[in-house]
Amino acid sequence: MIVYQATKGSFLKDAFTKDIEDVILTAFRSRTGRSVARSEIRSWKESLLAVAKVLNDDDIPHDCGVAIEYSIPQTSKRIDFILSGANDSKLDQLIIIELKQWETASKTDIDGVVNTRYAHGTKDTSHPSYQAWSYASLLLNFNEAIYDAEVGLRPCAYLHNYSDNGVLTDSFYAHYVQLAPIFLKGETEKDKLREFIKRHVRYGDERSLLYRMENGRIRPSKGLVDSLTGMLAGKQEFVLIDDQKVVYETALTLATHASEKSKHVVIVEGGPGTGKSVVAINLLVALTGRRLVTKYVTKNAAPRAVFEQALAGSLRKSQISNLFSGSGAFTETHANVFDALVVDEAHRLNEKSGLFGNLGTNQIQELIGSAKCSIFFLDEDQRVTFKDIGERSEIERLARAAGALVTPLKLESQFRCNGSDGYLAWLDNTLGLRPTANEVLSRNEFDFRVFSSPEEMRREILERNKTFNKARMVAGYCWDWNSKKDATAYDVVIPEHGFGMKWNLTKDGGLWMVAPESVNEIGCIHTCQGLEVEYIGVIVGPDMAMQDGSVVARPLKRSKHDKSMNGYKRLRADNPEDADRKANLIIKNTYRTLMTRGMKGCFVYFTDKTVEQHFLSRLSGASHEVLLDKVAESHAYYDLSLDDPGSK
């Protein structure tokens, strides 16, 4: 959908003789039935006048097409400004201009990301050149009218208020600036943008290309399909085994035959290590290979980033980025615009979307409504915040309300934790999540070790990581993120052992689990859920204790920075019993999830020595008594009080 389109001549008339922001607002309300914030209206006024001055040149054809606010299908993204025409060889051309009113920005150490100031403070955001290029990539890979006609796409960015300070043009961003040139404040920069436009648009087209683009069929290009299937081929970690193959083929068949009149919802349940994500990625590739519009969706960014990198290999910010999405991106999506949505980690879905949890109606409902077939992968035992609503019963209820046929499937074969179903059952029993017959864990079942010192555990993880970069340390979110503001500060500090480490830094984004140097940082539930390593080292914080012989959660021991407990105090004021029950489940689920990230082994350090002794008492083997002796010796160095809210 294009909010406003005209020839260049008509656009200049609207810009110079009318209030252009009112023209665009009227068109926006007419096309969408909605309005926009005042800040966006102000940006229309300033940015569109700035670009109009650039276009006010007789050498730029008066009959070239102008499109403003083009909504890219299957996304919530809008392209600010597009010019259409033809070059010297009479080949169709589209110039994509990303408009920004920025005055300042600072460099980050994240690929393709800068930091800039908005009305409510600073935040990391895409570099304007990356943003413009990514929009061009979307059109090239998904709009049949663009890729079949071999339209030349020329993305660029225009920051008319930004004086060059070397940040946006820094060599760190050179790759993206080369793909999409950036033009800044000043007459010289304005002339450069004019020359860029004139170099690619020599003849007008009376908006014909804009019409074809707006009405082009949306489906993956053959080039994208070939690239994606080639990337997956030969990757051992994505080979399907046993019931994974059965679930994959069933879901693939249902998704292929789904339609607007015959909607399908597939619910795939499976515990840790059963291969939910492996099946999900294979479905993404196979459905895209059938030229069906498909996305892989998760709430957490970490799985998306890791799987995207795994498919893309050595490519930076690959074109396949457009196949991955967060779960909050469907609040305004039209019904059935996707052929299929593959929703991984569906237990983490929330009711509302947006930074402040104030957008949309219900993420499950929005996902079902947006696709002819929705495939949900979930493990209800991995719900780890008060906002998580991903339950099978809720998905089934909303699916039936949408008139969809529900197909439940199950993954049961265990491929993580050394293939040990016994370890998972023992862990559930030991944490007090559910009673099982597995009261004692044999040393032969799984490499589970309790360390009396976090420093010793760190050394062991570092040693294990040397071979394949597949060992990491994680912890319960019981320590404040001090290093976020003070780079010299440690976060997870256990002074009695001289231990201090930082939480995972933002420079790796969602790639913490695979970034080479991240073994020197500690991750949390939000950076590792849905992912796995060979060996995981877990620091169990003071949010877990013993009471009357049972493991209990202590939610007030969580860091104030941890949003997982948001809603606990409010609920406790109204219903203390229900609040404590939910908090207990969330904290135990968190540690269950952390302790099942390791395929070959899990090493644990407990800050609470009574919890440590409880776990040790459930281990069998020759070294059991020795470990118990170590616990007894170490008690003199630990404060075992359960009542001190400040103890770490």
Segment 452-499, tens digit of pLDDT: 999 999 999 999 999 889 999 999 999 999 998 888 899 999 999 999
Q: What is the number of other CB atoms lying within 10 angstroms of the CB of residue 6?
A: 17
582 domain residue, yes or no? yes
In the sheet that 264-270 helps form, which strands lie side by side, from edge to edge? 324-326, 294-298, 338-343, 371-378, 264-270, 405-411
**Which of these, 390, 303, 355, lies nearest to 566 by C-alpha position?**
355
599 domain residue, yes or no? yes
Residues 187 and 267 in one domain: no
Share of the chain above pLDDT 70, in %: 92
545 domain residue, yes or no? yes
642 domain residue, yes or no? no
Its pTM stands at: 0.81
- For the record, the structure tokens of 569 come out as 């105090």
Q: Describe the crossing of helices 276-289 and 222-232 by its angle, rounded to 10 degrees.
A: 150
User: How do 544-547 and 371-378 pair as beta strands?
Assistant: unpaired
In 200-357 the beta strands, taken as DSSP E runs, fall at 264-270, 294-298, 324-326, 338-343
- Given a contact cutoff of 8 angstroms between Cβ atoms, the answer to whether 97 and 156 are in contact is yes
- For the record, the structure tokens of 537 come out as 């080292």
Instruction: Examine the fold and report which residue of 182, 214, 246 is the final residue of a domain before the chain moves on.
Output: 214
Domain count, the chain: 3
Q: How many degrees, rounded to 5, is the angle at CA 60 between CA 59 and CA 62?
A: 110
Instruction: Examine the fold and report which residue of 364, 394, 411 is the final residue of a domain before the chain moves on.
Output: 411
Q: Any idea what the CATH number is for the domain that residue 549 is in?
A: 3.40.50
AA identity, residue 433:
L
Confidence band of 72 (pLDDT split at 50, 70, 90) = confident
pLDDT attached to residue 283: 95
Instruction: Examine the fold and report which residue of 411, 443, 467 is the final residue of a domain before the chain moves on.
Output: 411
Residues 399 and 496 in one domain: no
Residue 504 has pLDDT above 50, yes or no: yes
* DSSP category for residue 18: S
Residues 140 and 238 in one domain: no
The 10 Å CB-count burial string (b at 16+, else e) for 46-70 is ebbebbbebbeeeebbeebbbbbbb
625 domain residue, yes or no? yes
Q: What is the number of other CB atoms lying within 10 angstroms of the CB of residue 550?
A: 10
Residue 518 has pLDDT above 60, yes or no: yes
Residue 117 CA to residue 139 CA, distance in Å, equals 29
Distance from the Cα of residue 253 to its chain's centroid? 27
Residues 392 and 473 in one domain: no
Residues 532 and 405 in one domain: no
Q: Any idea what the CATH number is for the domain that residue 310 is in?
A: 3.40.50.300
Instruction: Say which residues have a Cβ less than 8 Å from residue 314's Cβ, sequence separation at least 6.
Output: none
pLDDT attached to residue 644: 33
pLDDT attached to residue 416: 54
Residue 135 CA to residue 137 CA, distance in Å, equals 5
Residues 232 and 151 in one domain: no
Residue 195 CA to residue 52 CA, distance in Å, equals 15
Bridge partners, 83 (sequence order)? 66, 95
**Continuous segment of H or E residues that includes residue 544:** strand 544-547
pLDDT attached to residue 35: 86
Residues 180 and 232 in one domain: no
632 in helix, strand or coil? helix
What pLDDT digit, counting tens, does each position of 295-332 carry? 999 998 888 888 887 776 544 555 677 889 999 999 98
Confidence band of 638 (pLDDT split at 50, 70, 90) = very low
Instruction: Say which residues have a Cβ less than 8 Å from residue 116's Cβ, sequence separation at least 6.
Output: 102, 104, 105, 106, 122, 123, 125
- Average pLDDT (623-636) is 42
- For the record, the structure tokens of 463 come out as 């040693």
AA identity, residue 370:
S
Residues 175 and 246 in one domain: no
Three-state SS string over 306-347 comes to: HHHHHHHCCCCCCHHHHHEEECCCCCCCCCCCEEEEEECCHH
616 domain residue, yes or no? yes
Confidence band of 415 (pLDDT split at 50, 70, 90) = low
Residue 118 has pLDDT above 90, yes or no: no
Instruction: Say which residues have a Cβ less than 8 Å from residue 566's Cβ, sequence separation at least 6.
Output: 385, 386, 387
Range of the domain at 106: 2-214
* DSSP category for residue 148: T
Residues 113 and 29 in one domain: yes
- Given a contact cutoff of 8 angstroms between Cβ atoms, the answer to whether 346 and 390 are in contact is yes
Distance from the Cα of residue 267 to its chain's centroid? 21
Residues 376 and 520 in one domain: no
646 domain residue, yes or no? no
Residue 70 CA to residue 544 CA, distance in Å, equals 51
Residues 251 and 183 in one domain: no
Q: What is the DSSP string of 377-424?
A: EE-GGG--STT----HHHHHHHHHHTTPEEEEEEE----SGGG-HHHH
- Given a contact cutoff of 8 angstroms between Cβ atoms, the answer to whether 446 and 601 are in contact is yes
Residues 596 and 454 in one domain: yes
Residue 645 has pLDDT above 60, yes or no: no
- Average pLDDT (538-551) is 95
Residue 340 CA to residue 280 CA, distance in Å, equals 12
Confidence band of 624 (pLDDT split at 50, 70, 90) = very low
648 domain residue, yes or no? no
Residue 444 has pLDDT above 70, yes or no: yes
Nearest 10 degrees: CA dihedral of 324, 325, 330, 332? -90
Burial of 401 (0-12, 13-18, 19+ CB in 10 A): exposed
